Structures are given as structure tokens and as C-alpha cells.
Amino acid sequence: MTPRTNARLAGFTFLFYIAIGITEMVLSSRIKSGPSTAAKLANIAQHAPQMGLAIVLGMLTILCALVLAVTLYSLTRDVDPDLALLAMTCRVTEGVTGIAPAIASLGLLSLATAAVTATGQEAATVNQLAALLLRVGGWSMTVGATAFAVGSTIFAWLFLRARSIPLWLAWLGLGGSLLMVVITPLEGIGLIKGTVMSIAWAPLFVFEVTLAFWLMIKGVTPRPVRQT
């Protein structure tokens, strides 16, 4: 594909990824809510169609991550092919780690159906398995978000070196991505929660939305950096 086509595809995928990602997150948080594992399973059983939709959206985010990995690599490989390949690998890892939460959600949906009629030891076993699957989804998201942050940092740095997007936008992406490289693992081990994470994501959110429109409207201006 031409650079222009890659830029447009990357821009559209950024916006689509954000839209379905937020929708999936909101749906999942509501469906999987509850004071206990048993209550969460009951909530999932009552909202099985919505759970199915959340699973489909989660699968689409995997595809989005892979599309962005390829298109952003194509737009930055002339600057530094090795760094661009590393960044692409990080974004591919982001997509691959999304498989585990999707499988965990399918397992939870199955367990929620079984929990309706389970009693005694069977109910206890179902709850234990469900609790594990809930944790697996969270762990996978932490790993995937960290890989995403590293890949985003490298791509932003390559855009900055190439001067192929506005400098202020590239610096915003670099700063926001570096912040998430530090913050995301801390969230994974429980040191940072809630509002702090929402604020920390804000610069990167602004960067990706702005970059998406820039790529679709303006594209990139390739200025390869000579390697020494």
C-alpha cells in the first residue's frame, strides 16, 4: 500500500480502536460488577447478550492492534527500520495479549450459565474458576497495556525524528507514552488506581485522536533520516 493509504488506514483504525475499546470496557465493567464472585456470575448470566457483544468488541480490538502495528511500521520504517520493527513487535504483542481476556470472558459466560443450577461443592468450584478467570483478564490487560505504551513511545519518537507530523504532536505522544510506560506496571501491582490512571491516560488519548485525524486528512511527510 502507498504511504497515503497506510496513513488513512492507521487514522481510521485509531478512532475505531478507541471507540470499540471504550465501549467494551464500559460494558464489561457493568456486566462483571458485583460484591462477590457469585454475584458477578449472576450478573453475567442475566446479561448474556451484552456479554457476547463485549467479547466480540474485544476480538475486534485485537485486529485493530495488529492493523496499527503494520501501518505505523510502514510509515516509520524509513527513519529507523530496527526501531520501527521493535515498535511493531510491541503493538503485535499488545494484540496477542488481548486473546487471553477474550478467552477468559468466554469462560466466564460458560461458568455463569453453569452457576445458575450449580449447588454445594460444584458451586464452590465454579466460583473459584470464575475468580481465576477474572484475575487472568486483568493481568493480561496490564501486560498488553505495557506493550502498547512501549510501542507507542517508539513510534512517537520515530515520528519526531522524521518531522513527518507536527512537532508538538510528536512531543505530546512521546511524553504521554513514556508516562504510561511508568504508570501501567504500577497499576498492575496495585500502587496506582482510579482517578490517577484516568488523568495519566489523558495526554495519550489526546495524542491518538489528534494523530488519527491528522493522518486521515494530511497524511505524513516522509523525511528519512540518514543512518550512520
Per-residue pLDDT of 57-68, as tens digits, reads: 999 999 999 999
Asked if residues 67 and 13 have their Cβ atoms less than 8 Å apart, the reply is yes
Query: How many Cα atoms within 13 Å fall on the side-chain side of residue 86?
Result: 12
Query: Does 115 score more than 80 pLDDT?
Result: no
Weakest mean pLDDT among 52-66, 120-134, 145-159: 120-134
| Residue type for position 75 | L
Task: Return the domain boundaries, the chain.
Answer: 3-217
Residues in the chain: 228
Mean pLDDT of 87-96: 94
Condensed to tens digits (0 to 9), the pLDDT of residues 6-17 reads 999 999 999 999
Least confident of 7-21, 75-89, 133-147: 133-147
Maximum alpha-carbon separation in the chain: 69
Is the confidence at residue 227, as pLDDT, over 70? Answer: no
Q: Is the pLDDT of residue 85 over 50?
A: yes
Pinpoint the alpha helices (H) of the chain. 3-31, 37-46, 48-76, 81-97, 99-115, 120-162, 167-188, 195-217
Backbone phi, then psi, for 218, in 5-degree steps? -100, -30
pTM of the model: 0.86
